[in-house]
Structure 1
Amino acid sequence: MNDQTLLKYYLNMQEPEAYQWNMSPRSLYLEFETRDFLSRNFEVFVGMKACNIGIGVGKWDDYLGCFLKGNGQLNEYRY
């Protein structure tokens, strides 16, 4: 796979109307701060349940799945 093919693949993963916001420095900073807050203030335990409410490209689902470390359950609600 060459660089152009890889770039095209990643660019096509994003929804057109949200892509610029999702990649903006403000969005990335907000994501960093939110993940930092979660990791500092919540302790994962066996049987923990998490729910991702909202829309998006699935990055929070990926993060929450890793955060739970196989000890809990992740549900999502999309509208």
Structure 2
Amino acid sequence: MAAFAPPVAQGLFEDDTRPRPNLSPATVQQLAARIGLTFTPDKQAKANTFAPVDILDYIYAVLPFSRLSIIK
């Protein structure tokens, strides 16, 4: 017997096969307009698009430098 119950899906997937980005549509629209790219919920090899993972990559790259500027 398992020590814990398996997680129960609670609307995390629209069609039980594709995840939904956990991003505010208004924020995504503002960001897309500001950077001049089109948002896609999945990473694509198409030019002029960005996906949730790209936002995370940017934050991960910039965050250490913002901390350094506070220390100065």
Structure 2 length-normalised TM? 0.33
Structure that is richer in helix per residue:
1
Higher Cα Rg, which structure:
2
Instruction: Write 1 or 2 for the structure with the bigger share of strand.
Output: 1
